[in-house]
Amino acid sequence: MTAPVDLSHLDAQGQAHMVDVSAKATTVRQAVAEAIVKMQPQTLATIEAGNAPKGDVLGTARIAGIMAAKQTANLIPLCHPLPIHGVEVAINPDASLPGYRIQATVNVKAETGVEMEALTAASVAALTLYDMAKALEKAMEIQSIRLLSKTGGKSSDYQAAAPQAR
């Protein structure tokens, strides 16, 4: 028989609640997340040439990702609002996909981590890239949204393994 698991986001009555992190130490924390958007080579070429019908696809997606990181607590019910110190969203073309690799890095000095903020930033940047380019191709695929790394806090640092070939 296995020991019962202590679920941090459930109270004694089994109701979901926000964890009280006030007793935790304030530390510098960083999380990096990634999303991949696959598309046809001609769609990638059109975006790279700056000829998408809706305008600046990559700039709009980058700003959307930054804004999303700052709104995570409003979107994910049990997330804490955090004093985010920095958000970087890099959107890089990858002809081998073909498509884009989106990487969101979020930094904070707080009592809890920023994994959800980084994942939200990468996700919303990918969704925005799709929205901005859907006139070019509706069959684009958003894939492999994942945490790449996290540092800081009481739990150990995390580094994702290299993705498996498909």
- Please tell me the distance from the alpha carbon of residue 34 to that of residue 145, in angstroms, as a whole number: 6
Q: What crossing angle do the helices spanning 115-133 and 57-70 adopt, rounded to 10°?
A: 150
* pLDDT tens digits, 43-97: 999 999 999 999 999 999 999 999 999 999 999 988 999 999 999 999 999 999 9
Tens of pLDDT along 11-31?
A: 666 676 677 777 788 899 999
* Catalytic center residues: 131
Query: Do β-strands 84-94 and 27-38 pair in parallel, antiparallel, or remain unpaired?
Result: unpaired
Using alpha carbons, list the distances in angstroms from residue 77 to 17, 45, 63. Answer: 9, 39, 23
pLDDT for residue 58:
98
- Straight-line distance from the first to the last Cα atom of the chain, in angstroms, rounded to the nearest whole number: 37
CATH topology assigned to domain 32-153: Alpha-Beta Plaits (3.30.70)
pLDDT at 166 over 90: no
Q: 0.85 exceeded by the pTM? A: yes
- Tell whether the model's pLDDT for residue 3 goes beyond 60: no
Q: Are 107 and 29 in contact (CB under 8 A)?
A: yes
Instruction: Give the residue among 8, 6, 31, 35 at the shortest CA–CA distance from 19.
Output: 8
Does the pLDDT value for residue 2 go beyond 60?
no
